[in-house]
Amino acid sequence: MRRQALPDVLRGFSLCSMILYHALWDLVYLAGIDLPWYRGAAGFLWQQSICWCFILVSGFCRGMSRRPLYHGLRLLACGALIRAATAAVLPEAPIRFGVLTLLGMSALLCEALEPLLRRVPPAASLALFAFLFAACYRVPEGTFAGLALPRALYRNELTALLGFPPAGFVSSDYFPLLPWTLLFCCGASLGHLLRGKTPRFPAVQPFAWLGRHSLAVYLLHQPLLYAAFWLAGMIR
């Protein structure tokens, strides 16, 4: 199967935006630089645009993987590595259930549900997953479709993975299964719907290169940013 350029370009563009966002995160939260807009609505919308694009494109590309189980397990292993590294470096706010753990879990869940999903028209599954994502968007905050959920659901580490974090739960990068797996499934449904119909798109460099090596870039960008700011004397 010939590799499509458009998903790589979109993923590469999202990675560039993410690197810039994380560079500012380091400057705000580690170097103490005051950027009120970054802490406010503008910064939140920027962060959401990055994760929405990244998760949708990852779901879209799921069907193109030649070894989906290996791909999902590799992402889970990388997520565990990031959790261990951040627990050592930033013990007050380690990354628990970050985006790589989400993508790995979502890939494995979609693979398990593939026989069932094939029975549903892609347009119908896209509409269903989009509706469920909207309804579950604030589940980690305690509501489903605007209705308050029982606090008994928010108990421990396992419920935090599902989308029900207990009081006092802290993570620098938190993407639980609800609602984010549903957005991944939107991307997977979109991939089924547009399979063989996506327009030819030029492999815009360097975005396409970044998209092809997205996992390595994701794993390396934050240590390199930290090292650069440390060498510049901006953080200690």
pLDDT score at 10 = 86
Q: Give the pTM.
A: 0.90
129-133, 148-152, 222-226: least confidently modelled range: 222-226
Domain annotation covers residue 192: yes
CA angle at 44 for the pair 145 and 74, rounded to the nearest 5°: 85
Range(s) of the domain holding residue 178 = 5-231
Predicted confidence at residue 67, as pLDDT, reads 84
Banded model confidence at residue 1, pLDDT cuts 50, 70, 90: very low
Query: What's the distance, CA 84 to chain centroid?
Result: 18
Q: How confident is the model over 23-70, as pLDDT tens digits?
A: 999 999 889 999 999 999 999 999 999 999 999 999 998 877 778 889
The three-class DSSP label of residue 61 is helix
Alpha-carbon span 11 to 13, nearest angstrom: 5
Residue 236 within a domain? no
Four-residue CA torsion sign, 209, 213, 215, 220: negative
Within 8 A by CB and 6+ apart from 48, the residues are: none
CB contact at 8 A, 4 and 207: no
Q: Tell me what percent of the residues of the chain surpass a pLDDT of 70.
A: 94
Q: How far apart are CA 186 and CA 57, in angstroms?
A: 10
| 3-class secondary-structure state, position 89 | helix
- Mean pLDDT of all residues in 93-102: 93
CA atoms 119, 70, 178, 62: torsion sign: negative
Summarize the confidence of residues 121-147 as an average pLDDT.
Answer: 96
Query: Which of the four pLDDT bands, split at 50, 70 and 90, describes residue 199?
Result: low
Task: Determine, yes or no, domain membership for 139.
Answer: yes
- Does residue 118 lie within any of the structural domains? yes
Element (H, E) at 24: helix 5-29
In a domain, 207, yes or no: yes
189, with CB counted inside 10 A (0-12, 13-18, 19+), is buried
What confidence category does residue 200 fall into, taking pLDDT thresholds of 50, 70 and 90?
low
The rounded mean pLDDT for the chain is 90
pLDDT, residue 212, reads: 85
Q: Distance between the two ends of the chain, CA-based, in angstroms? A: 48
Q: Report if residue 50 sits inside a domain.
A: yes
Those residues whose C-beta lies under 8 Å from the C-beta of residue 173, and which sit 6 or more positions away, are 95, 98, 99
Is the bond preceding 206 in cis, omega lying within 30 degrees of 0?
Answer: yes
- pLDDT for residue 195 is more than 90: no
Q: Are 145 and 135 in contact (CB under 8 A)?
A: yes
Per-residue pLDDT at 63: 73
Q: CB-hemisphere CA count at 13 Å for 27?
A: 14
Do 129 and 189 form a contact (C-beta atoms < 8 A)? yes
Instruction: Output Rg (C-alpha) for the chain, integer angstroms.
Output: 18
pLDDT greater than 80 at residue 139? yes
Q: pLDDT-based confidence at 201, cuts 50/70/90?
A: low
What is the C-alpha to C-alpha distance for residues 32 and 172, in angstroms, rounded to an integer? 17
Q: Which of 189, 200, 197 is nearest to 9 (CA)?
A: 200
Number of domains in the chain: 1
